[in-house]
């Protein structure tokens, strides 16, 4: 059992406490904004920073990963619950609690059965497109908030755009001014003085200005009264059919959090030389989400931006998360009156600037430059998520992942090898093929398992190599099996047809560098028989090149 707060010592406790204060300054304004994105009261965002954060921090293996609702999770909550209940209603809040609990149960099950690998199907292009679509949808709502234009934040993307454009004539000049100045301070501050809690400074200054100038009377929206007191433990009571209806969206939330959370956890562990345990991290996510659902919050994931901020502050333990929990609790008990006059345009500016990196503009440009097919995958995920919905987006993401996997598996590297075991040319490239490594001998390597998706491709490549040299010249074909880890039944059937084709032309088939597990599989499928097996390609060439030609 791992001890909590691993890495904490007398030497670094002061630095960790200071980092905790920084985290508190960052998290309070962001979580208020994310709760609004999710269609929930500000307390839902603040409650997430207390019990769920403590539970997670005491269980997780990562010393730095910060857990919290984030922009993508908030958008997923809003888009998945919007059709089931009215945002802001008691039923809506109850569904959000139930959704978080389902997420927690899914995380725990993934941890118990060690299923974290499933998230690997969400490749970078898929995550870029999916999260980018969610972020762009959020951005429209935040722009409306910054302009003081009333729109239905829980509506469809196209409807929100139409409402925003048609409502531009109702723009509040004071809201626009507050938002513009807030955005300028946040962007310039992040560029030149990153360690300063600019979001908190923006909130404080904007609130003071609104109060002194009575700008709420001039049409500037403010946060309003926030209930005081710590979170109350509860349990959502809903019909079992509603529990089932929440499963798809909870699954989407779980998959996205797993993919991003485990990646960020591992990257910081490698960067700072400490071990991480993925399945334990999944378990921590599970307990944290169950705690969120039982304490008035909503689904939680990893916060990449806050984790990066803690790394820059020199934090190497989970103590800042505990400081965050204590500070938020004190705020809810003694200081909620300070939150009532926070202007909505400032919150919109803070959230809008925070989600700009999630749009993935640089990633889309990189994908366009490096791989147009993967760019197309990201673009499709982006458009489906934006125009159809988050659940459709995650379904399309997995389908595209499987298509991408099948496309790559169906076109494996297949090489003609020289006597020194180095590849000379790809049989699937533009260069002429069929060059023999020695008189009468061709050695071919398949750098992938032989299965239903590539069996015919491999057969065609071998036949192409044989036909590329004068007829009757080839007496031996050797298959380099070093990279062939498995053979399925369909691949075996295709290979049997290739063997018959070679036998009909008097060409002997042999194998080299056969793995022990692959040898058993070849024997079971009846492909090995009495065929010769060589330890190396060099040995195969030397032996076969000296074999007298039959007939």
CA dist list (Å): 406 to 394, 409, 412: 18, 5, 10
Q: Which parts of the chain sit beneath pLDDT 50? A: 418-435, 551
Give the length of the chain: 551
CA dist list (Å): 130 to 27, 36, 90, 303, 516: 24, 21, 29, 17, 42
Using the structure block, give the residue that is written with the tokens 């501050």.
189
Instruction: Compute the distance between CA of residue 184 and CA of residue 146 in angstroms, rounded to an integer.
Output: 13
3-state helix, strand, coil in the chain (%, to 5): 60, 5, 30
Strand partners, 438: 441
CB of 100 within 8 A of CB of 249? no
Q: CA torsion angle for 287, 292, 294, 298 (degrees, to 10)?
A: -130
CB of 148 within 8 A of CB of 176? yes
pLDDT at 425: 44
Instruction: Compute the distance between CA of residue 197 and CA of residue 492 in angstroms, rounded to an integer.
Output: 62
pLDDT at 292: 96
Which tokens sit at 325? 């929990």
The DSSP result for 190-244, as a single string, is HHH-TTS-HHHHHHHHHHHHHHHHTGGGGT--B------SPPPP------HHHHH
Domains of the chain listed by start with CATH number: 38-404 (no CATH), 414-545 (3.30.750.24)
The sign of the CA dihedral 129, 135, 138, 143 is: negative
Residues in Cβ contact with 495 at an 8 Å cutoff, skipping those fewer than 6 apart: 450, 455, 458, 459, 487, 527
Instruction: Compute the distance between CA of residue 481 and CA of residue 518 in angstroms, rounded to an integer.
Output: 8
First to last CA, the chain: 71
Tell how strand 476-480 and strand 508-512 pair up: parallel
pLDDT tens profile 379-390: 988 998 888 876
pLDDT tens profile 24-73: 888 888 898 889 888 899 999 999 999 999 999 999 999 989 998 887 78
Instruction: Compute the distance between CA of residue 160 and CA of residue 269 in angstroms, rounded to an integer.
Output: 41
Look at the pTM and tell me if it is higher than 0.75. Answer: no
pLDDT at 537: 81
Q: Environment class of residue 422 by beta-carbon count within 10 Å: exposed (0-12), middle (13-18) or buried (19+)? A: exposed
Instruction: Compute the distance between CA of residue 344 and CA of residue 206 in angstroms, rounded to an integer.
Output: 10
| Closest by Cα among 469, 397, 401, 479 to 440 | 469
Which tokens sit at 519? 């040898």
CB of 396 within 8 A of CB of 386? no
């Amino acid at each position: 059992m791992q001890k909590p707060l691993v890495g904490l010592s007398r030497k670094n406790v002061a630095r960790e406490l200071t980092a905790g204060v920084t985290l508190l300054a960052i998290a309070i304004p962001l979580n208020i904004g994310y709760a609004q994105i999710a269609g929930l009261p500000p307390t839902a965002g603040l409650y997430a920073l207390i019990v769920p954060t403590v539970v997670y921090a005491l269980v997780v293996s990562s010393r730095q990963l910060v857990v919290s609702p984030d922009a993508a999770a908030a958008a997923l909550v809003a888009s998945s619950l919007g059709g089931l209940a009215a945002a802001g209603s008691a039923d809506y809040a109850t569904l959000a609690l139930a959704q978080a609990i389902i997420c927690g149960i899914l995380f725990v099950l993934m941890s118990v059965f060690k299923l974290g690998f499933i998230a690997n199907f969400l490749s970078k292009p898929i995550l870029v497109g999916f999260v980018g679509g969610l972020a762009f949808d959020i951005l429209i709502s935040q722009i409306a908030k910054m302009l003081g234009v009333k729109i239905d934040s829980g509506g469809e993307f196209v409807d929100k755009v139409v409402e925003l454009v048609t409502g531009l004539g109702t723009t509040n000049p004071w809201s626009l001014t507050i938002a513009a100045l807030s955005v300028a301070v946040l962007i310039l501050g992040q560029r030149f003085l990153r360690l300063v809690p600019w979001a908190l400074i923006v909130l404080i200054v904007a609130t003071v200005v609104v109060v002194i100038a009575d700008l709420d009377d001039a049409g500037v929206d403010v946060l309003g009264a926030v209930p005081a007191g710590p979170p109350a433990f509860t349990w959502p009571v809903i019909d079992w059919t509603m529990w089932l209806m929440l499963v798809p969206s909870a699954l989407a939330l779980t998959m996205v959090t797993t993919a991003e959370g485990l990646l960020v956890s591992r990257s910081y562990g490698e960067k700072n030389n400490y071990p991480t345990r993925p399945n334990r991290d999944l378990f921590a996510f599970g307990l944290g989400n169950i705690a969120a659902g039982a304490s008035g919050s909503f689904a939680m994931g990893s916060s990449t931006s806050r984790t990066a901020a803690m790394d820059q502050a020199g934090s190497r333990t989970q103590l800042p998360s505990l400081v965050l929990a204590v500070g938020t609790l004190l705020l809810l008990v003694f200081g909620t009156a300070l939150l009532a006059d926070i202007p909505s345009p400032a919150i919109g500016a803070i959230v809008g600037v925070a989600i700009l990196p999630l749009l993935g503009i640089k990633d889309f440009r990189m994908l366009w430059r490096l791989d147009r097919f993967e760019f197309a995958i990201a673009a499709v995920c982006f458009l489906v998520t934006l125009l159809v919905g988050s659940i459709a987006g995650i379904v399309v993401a997995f389908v595209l992942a499987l298509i991408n996997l099948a496309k790559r598996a169906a076109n494996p590297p297949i090489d003609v090898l020289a006597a020194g075991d180095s590849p000379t040319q790809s049989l699937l490239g533009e260069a002429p093929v069929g060059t023999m490594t020695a008189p009468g001998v061709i050695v071919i390597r398949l750098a992938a398992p032989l299965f239903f998706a590539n069996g015919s491709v491999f057969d065609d490549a071998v036949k192409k190599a044989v036909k590329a040299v004068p007829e009757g010249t080839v007496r031996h074909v050797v298959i380099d099996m070093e990279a062939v880890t498995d053979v399925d039944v369909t691949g075996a059937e295709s290979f049997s047809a290739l063997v018959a084709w070679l036998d009909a032309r008097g060409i002997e088939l042999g194998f080299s560098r056969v793995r022990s597990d692959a040898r058993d599989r070849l024997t079971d499928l009846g492909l090995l028989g009495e065929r010769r097996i060589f330890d190396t390609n060099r040995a195969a060439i030397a032996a076969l090149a000296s074999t007298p030609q039959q007939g």
